[in-house]
Structure 1
Amino acid sequence: MTRLALTDLAAARGRRGLTSVCSAHPLVLRAALRLGRQTGETVLIEATCNQVNHRGGYTGMTPADFAALVRRLAAQEGLPEAQLLLGGDHLGPNPWRDRPAEEALSEAEAMVAAYVAAGFRKIHLDASMGCAGELGALDDATTARRAARLATVAERTARDSGLPAPHYVLGTEVPPPGGADHLLDTVEPTAPGAARRTIEVHREVFAEAGLQEAFARAIALVVQPGVEFGNRNVIHYDPGRAEALNALLREEPRFVFEAHSTDYQGAAPLAALVRGGYAILKVGPEVTFALRETLYALDLIASDLLPGYGERPLMMAMEREMLDAPDNWLRHYGTGTDAHLLRHYSLSDRIRYYWPAPGAQRAVDRLLMALSGQRLPMPLLRQHLPAALPLADQPLDPEALLITRVMDALHPYSAACLQDGTPTPA
């Protein structure tokens, strides 16, 4: 199979695409890398500005740390280095937007330099948000000028480091990171005129800054195709509603669209997105939801099967971690009667922020050790984890099961991105 590079996306538009896996969880990363080894596809792993930055982000990792982790896991999974692509998402002042603009942009410059120096080749420039004393959303010209400033740093860093020049993603009209906080009825696709103006303004501003070569490496535009998920429901892609937006690509044949928050869309909408020109499909909470779902099922199985294990100790540990440090969920879930339900089962899966906590790691390790080598009765699997029925009455490898379940969540993305009849390796 011909492996897609970023520069191949426009030519393959409507037939092929790339899945962008946005997660720092090692088991999710292993799943993406293992699936890529099986299919031969390019594996695109992305980190976000809040998750990974030169200050450590909420994961505690710099871009160099994250790149080293992914590359180490790729080597362990037997994925060739040439098959791996690293991207940086929403790189801009967002983590420091409570500071004055100049201070926030200086931090963003340092972050972009760290990403490029660490070998990230796909850079999403996002300077659309206002900083202290500014409006929440900036106009196109200001956004483009700040993006050009960051691109200047990226270009210089690549040149000084002897690295290939990066490719850029422009545009910022995206769903709220991690999903919406309320029940959704509909989401309007980006207006074609707004998307057209985003490209035109960036083209003009980059030219004024002497960044024509950098703009020539802009491969994708972030738009809203009309997809979203909230805490409890999903808005699926409707090609008819996005038809006018999708037609813009005929005017800009060197671009593709990048679709954010495609989590939980399912096979048919994902395939339709790729056919519509959305050649980069972002997924994050759906894969960590699959991980949590499987961990919680195993917690129930161990509670029923093993004397002395306790009554759902993993769930209890996660509840303690979230209540002790509520910043990552409180403003999204509130304190109402359903807050407990949302903490554990929301589609936005904000529990993903808590897996690195020491208490969570201890609880997961205890669960995996307790079930390692255990033979799980078929009726118990039917009750709690029907997808694992083929593993009944066999010695269990819990980690392998977790990776397989995340791979299952990624399979519809892989299938959607391979629509040209190219056979996929077994």
Structure 2
Amino acid sequence: MPENSLKHIVEYQKAGNPVGIYSACSSNSFVIEAVLEEARDHNEVCLIESTANQVDQNGGYSGMTPADFKAFVLAKAKEIGCDPAKIYLGGDHLGPLTVAHLPEAEAMAYARTLVHDYVKAGFTKIHIDTSMKVADDDPNERLSDETIARRGAELARVCEDAYQELLKEDPNAVRPVYIVGSEVPIPGGATEDNSGMQVTRVEDFKNTVATFEKAFKDQGLEETWKDVIAVVVQPGVEEKDAGCTEYDRAKAAELMASIKEFPNIVFEGHSTDYQTKYKLRELVEDGVGVLKVGPGLTYGAREALFSLAYIEENMFHGREDETSHFIDVLEKAMLETPKNWAKHYHGNENELWFKRKFSFSDRSRYYMPNPEVKAAMDKMFENLRKEGINLAALSQFMPMQYTKVREGVLQNDPAELVKDRVKNTIDEYRFATHQNEL
């Protein structure tokens, strides 16, 4: 059976070669297309992940099951001309995350179906996350590592069985690799700035590894343990409203040194959004083989959409009744359904107004599929295509894209401009990971 070449990250890291990969955690079409185009244009691999609340057996908030999400990505790849063999699909925070209000028996039954469907659909990177308490866990006691690992190993057992099912349909199906641990905020972002974030203690990291290894052995999964390539830790980074908590090598030095004791494991770093490309490179050099990024990518797309809205507004001055009013339509959608931002944004009315539009946490990403928002975006694109985007306005609001348009390497088209803004962020991760070597 084919080996999962994501294991090469471990081989490179242990040989002292700082190679990693960035993981695009998004279902946004502009982001997916930008990631695939970058992989095509640079002849590189790419890793695209969906989270347990985004894609699940019932459709998640994206409306897609794991099989749907895979079909969506592969359809985009075919349109773009990206070799599907270069695409890795991952499942992030797979476990009882979205059903933690249920008792263990019911929550774990849901989680078993969830991981089964991801593996059966052909996802080849599985983050098992059972770190959250369920309804019958003691709310006043810390969830023990043993409980977390036991539940995680139960899900790994299901993953292995699902892979055997997949092999009957596709004898060349690649084995999944596994990620364990969860020293990070919940998917979607922290609900408070910084949320008491601290660098993972070395003893906690080592205990996570030891308890998971034992739990896998108890499930008869000694061989599967060899496919665990990374452990999630908190190296001291976090995205938040105002940007991020920047990586500090000195504060994380003891943790990073400890990974050298484990020849088959690297670190996976979550919430790396908005780190500079140099800090991202330091993370990879220090042992973080996988850099997760989500809001940082959709923020780039949102930023470009707002720039286009400002261009439209100025080009259509005096003809406001013809414009899309994209920013206002988005604001209306967010106010009508506040559940996706209300717990994450804090402040007075003026501060909330600002954050709904410009927060680095980018909760607006949840509203882009809204039919009225989508219709406004389509109208804005139609207006700009019909009139032709004025170069002076493009220079004012999207100067980097203006230069590329003038140089003839970028089409002066709204959708292409949005994707190129996303690629600005992707290129910072490519600089950090050296993933062209994978």
TM score, norm. by length of structure 2: 0.91
Q: Return the match for 2:42 from 20, 36, 39.
A: 39
1:178-257 superposed matches below 5 A: 178-184=188-194, 187-257=197-267
Return 168-177 or 242-251, whichever deviates more: 168-177
Check if 1:170 corresponds to 2:173: no
Structure 1 CA distance for aligned equivalents of residues 120 and 279 of structure 2: 36
1:210 is paired with a residue of what secondary structure? coil
1:26 Cα deviation after fit: 1.1
The one of 398, 401, 425 equivalent to 1:409 is: 425
Q: Secondary structure at the match of 1:11?
A: helix
The structure 2 residue matched to 1:323, chosen from 298, 311, 335, is 335
Q: Does 1:80 align with 2:83?
A: yes
Poorly superposed stretches of 4+, deviation over 6 Å: 392-395
Give the partner amino acid of 2:164: R
Identity %: 37
How far apart, CA to CA, are the structure 2 residues paired with 1:283 and 1:8? 21
Give unpaired runs (5+ residues) of structure 1: none
Deviation at 1:347, TM superposition (A): 0.7
Name the SS of the counterpart of 1:301 in structure 2: helix
The verdict on how the C-alpha distance between 1:55 and 1:419 changes in structure 2, with shifts beyond 3 A counting, is closer
Q: Is the 8 A contact 1:91 1:125 kept in 2?
A: yes
AA aligned opposite 2:111: A
Structure 2 counterpart of 1:383:
396
- Out of 413, 418, 429, the position equivalent to 1:397 is 413
Q: Which amino acid in structure 1 is aligned with residue 184 of structure 2? A: V
Distance 1:285 1:135, change over 3 A: farther
Partner SS state of residue 88, structure 1: strand
| In structure 2, distance between residues paired with 1:389 and 1:27 | 19
Match of 1:151 in 2: 156
Q: 1:55 deviation in Å?
A: 0.8
CA change 1:320–1:335 in 2 (3 A) is farther
Q: What do residues 288-347 of structure 1 show as CA deviations (whole Å, max 9, x unaligned)?
A: 000000001100110110253457710111011111111111111146221111111111
Which of the two has greater helix per residue?
2
* Equivalent residue letter for 1:110: T
Give the TM-score normalised by structure 1.
0.94
Query: Cα RMSD between the aligned structures?
Result: 2.1
The answer for the alignment partner of 2:170 in structure 1 is none
The 3 A distance-change label for structure 1 pair 22 and 235 is: same
Q: Secondary structure at the match of 1:46?
A: strand
Tell me: CA distance 1:278–1:373, structure 2 relative to 1, closer, same or farther (3 Å): farther
Look up the equivalent residue of 1:83 and give its one-letter code. Answer: K
3-state SS of 1:241 partner: helix
Q: How many residues align?
A: 419
Aligned AA (1:143): I
Counterpart CA distance in 2 for 1:147 and 1:340 is 41
**Greater Cα offset, 386-395 or 201-210:** 386-395
Distance 2:45 2:292 in 1: 14
Maintained 8 Å contact 1:375/1:392? no
Aligned-residue offset at 1:81: 1.5
- Where does residue 288 of structure 2 map in the other structure? 278
